[in-house]
Amino acid sequence: MRMKRLLVVGRFQPPHLGHLHTIRWALDNAEEVIVVVGSAQESYTLDNPMTAGERVEALRLMLEDLGDWCGRIMIVPVPDIAMNKVWVQYLKMLLPPFDGVVSGNELVLMLFEDMGLAALRPPMFKRGECSGTRIRRLMASGERGWEGCLHPGVRRYVEEIGLPERLRRLLAMG
Ligand SMILES: Nc1ncnc2c1ncn2[C@@H]1O[C@H](COP(=O)(O)OP(=O)(O)OP(=O)(O)O)[C@@H](O)[C@H]1O
Ligand SMILES: NC(=O)c1ccc[n+]([C@@H]2O[C@H](COP(=O)(O)O)[C@@H](O)[C@H]2O)c1
């Protein structure tokens, strides 16, 4: 049965084609999708180089391709909290009502299941290539090979904000 509203949770550092695949999959399973930009307080670190605002902007560029579907998607940045047990309650306070989550993250799936909500694991898309960790590692070491995992709009955007250079400098700082 199609649900009313599902969350897609991630850090989106940066948003890549695997994420686009998962958001499409969530839209097949729910009338509306809320893309939760997690760890919104983080920026300018090797694991979380982009600000929440930059991630929101990049996601919007990527989701433009979904055309009319865009009206069914909300993007909400959410800072982390120290207490995992009440995280889903915290999301309930911040967001419109939702039926469950789409995620490949074990902790996220467990926290939603324990609250009696739907916890759906999406199929992976080119996981070997489309991984935030891999993309950031290549950028930080000045290598190419990450471009094909990004939507053209996101590719242009990360070059505009100087993300590869930011990662190189963060790596050099140690
Ligand atoms: N290649 C992929 N195909 C489909 N879905 C993906 C893919 N990569 C990530 N996802 C989905 O996006 C969610 C959030 O992912 P996240 O932002 O952690 O991306 P990531 O590439 O795994 O990043 P990182 O390597 O930095 O942890 C995951 O739980 C998963 O559901
Ligand atoms: N206690 C919390 O704030 C809490 C718990 C579980 C997941 N999260 C967040 O959800 C997101 C999950 O995304 P990833 O799958 O990219 O790790 C992360 O930003 C993570 O920090 C936060």
Q: Tell me how far the alpha carbon of residue 88 lies from the centroid of ligand 2, in angstroms.
A: 11
Residue 101 three-state SS: strand
pLDDT at 65: 81
pLDDT at 1: 67
Would you give the end-to-end CA distance of the chain in angstroms? Answer: 49
Domain boundaries, the chain: 3-173
Burial 98-130 (b: 16+ CB within 10 A, else e): bbbbbbbeeebbebbeebebbbbebeebeeeeb
Quick check: bond before 14 cis, omega within 30? Answer: yes
For ligand 2, atom 14, name the residue with the nearest CA: 10
Q: Which ligand is nearest to the CA of 22?
A: 1
Quick one: tokens of 32? Answer: 């509306």
Nearest CA to 120 out of 12, 11, 28, 42 is that of 28
Give the pLDDT of the chain (174 residues) as one tens digit per residue.
Answer: 689 999 999 999 999 999 999 999 999 999 999 999 999 999 999 999 999 999 999 999 999 988 777 789 999 999 999 999 999 999 999 999 999 999 999 999 999 999 999 999 999 998 889 999 999 999 999 999 999 999 999 999 999 999 999 999 999 998
Distances (CA, A) of 40 to 7, 81, 102, 111, 133: 16, 11, 19, 19, 17
3-173 sits in which CATH class? Answer: alpha beta
Q: What is the pLDDT of residues 132-144, one digit of tens each?
A: 999 999 999 999 9
Distances (CA, A) of 83 to 88, 93, 154: 10, 15, 33
- The ipTM is 0.96
To which residue do tokens 């070059």 refer? 159
For ligand 1, atom 2, name the residue with the nearest CA: 18
pTM equals 0.97
